[in-house]
Amino acid sequence: MKTITHWIGGKPVEGTSGRFGPVYNPATGAQEKQIAFATVDEVDAAVATAKAAFESWGQSSLAKRTAILFKFRELLDAHRDEIAELITAEHGKVHSDALGEVARGLEVVELACGISEKLKGELSTQVSTRVDVASIRQPLGVVAGITPFNFPAMVPMWMFPIAIATGNTFVLKPSEKDPSASYRLAELLAEAGLPDGVFNIVQGDKVAVDRLLEHPDVAAVSFVGSTPIAKYIQLKAVEHDKRVQALGGAKNHMLVLPDADLDFAADQAINAAYGSAGERCMAVSVVVAVGDTGDELVAKIAERAKNLRIGPGNDPASEMGPLITREHRDNVASYVTSAAEQGAEVVVDGTGYSVEGHENGFFIGVSLLDKVPVTADAYKDEIFGPVLCVVRAETYDDAIKLINSSRWGNGTAIFTRDGGAARRFQLEVQAGMVGVNVPIPVPVGYHSFGGWKDSLFGDLHIYGNDGVAFYTQGKVITTRWPDPADGGINLGFPSNS
């Protein structure tokens, strides 16, 4: 059985812990690989290697960094199908969805290729007599990324391209469930000419995570995952004097007003709720139907949901693949069962679904729940699966109050033809990313991604301008060069004359 190892100093490094984790093919349920879990010593070795590499990489020219990133971008584009296949094999998502993931990561690589524009700095001349003031940004040193299973290529690329472009060195701890895509990215970075030690991978579990959070030579940590772990990451990182951005979970609402095109809204609800089997923090998990739109909208969503093609991700006919593990599938199914017990109407029940020839795979069908009480677990919790809740609201004001009462504030959307209502919504709703007739408003690479409330811990969002700010620290330099014509001693306070 193939063992996925660490990547330290520009090459594979075998694990020594004797501890391994299984890597499954979710479509078959079979374990096809194993991953070597890192020891504390192996994490320390990766950090030490990154620290040594920073001595030269942090002083390297922007021209050198961008030349390597341009080459990496070229290689990534050439190998996007291969990387998508790795994602499908270990995560389960359909190939087209995996290709989209690679494309969104590539956007951030392209932003990093233009890092010289982002690091220009500022200069004010003659602020006092022959005194100039400049503001510059410099790298932090060794930085770390801890990334989730649902986007094993994209989320790491939200982090390391900006980090290394700004002169830092990077240690990645990817998800232990689907690590091969990020490992392939490491190989492509080496092929692009990235110096040894600038990018490193330690595979592992909580042992590796905690050591990265505690290590005195790690200056900053980026994390994407669930809210409870995001809170833990922030507290632990701050305790050890690190800069931290920790993106947590979500319960994203899609508000549908009576004037909306209900066919369009139903199509978009299907795409946003069930794409990637609902395993994404920006998935729409709640539709808020305002006024008398509910019955018609639910009927349209149900009609579409029943016709979705579910199967292995490598089958071109499949529109949705399996979930990541058997345990997660069973947990998702439990929310559908409990919702019925807690007062919701189960319109479409996807539990108990299986695919012929793949009966051991981690498949589940899509579920649609209507008239879901806000006290139901299916409404309160982040399910992270293909379950869409519909709640009813009499008015826009009732709907906005419902959405803003959520403890999360990641993404949200409004569907309407009324520009005034849309403008009011985008100003009043308490969420970090807002879509107007766009169900999943994930920003492009040159804007920043991040939510509010329990969806973000830390001050800065990820990638875009916030990403540049996160991986750099500001410095202000005040300079005075005396004119050779000046002479003598003057103990007075400098004047502006």
Q: Which residues are catalytic?
A: 281
Pairing outcome for strands 131-139 and 345-348: unpaired
Residue 31 pairs in a beta bridge with 24
Q: Token pair of 39, please?
A: 């020891």
If residue 479 lies in a helix (H) or strand (E), which one and from where to where?
strand 472-480
What number of other Cβ atoms are within 10 A of residue 284's Cβ?
28
Q: What stretches of 419-465 adopt beta strand conformation (E)?
A: 433-436, 452-453, 456-457
CA 136, 137, 141: angle at the middle one, nearest 5? 145
Question: Considering only CA atoms, which of 421, 146, 383, 372 is closest in space to residue 274?
Answer: 383
Contact, 252 vs 411, CB < 8 A? yes
- In SS3 terms, 293-334 reads as HHHHHHHHHHHHHCCCCECCCCCCCCCECCCCCHHHHHHHHH
End-to-end CA distance of the chain: 77
Question: Got the DSSP string for 340-355?
Answer: HHTT-EEEE--TT---
Contact, 76 vs 11, CB < 8 A? no
Which residue blocks in 321-455 are alpha helix, DSSP H?
326-341, 377-380, 396-404, 419-428
**Burial zone of 340 (CB within 10 Å; 0-12 exposed, 13-18 middle, 19+ buried):** middle
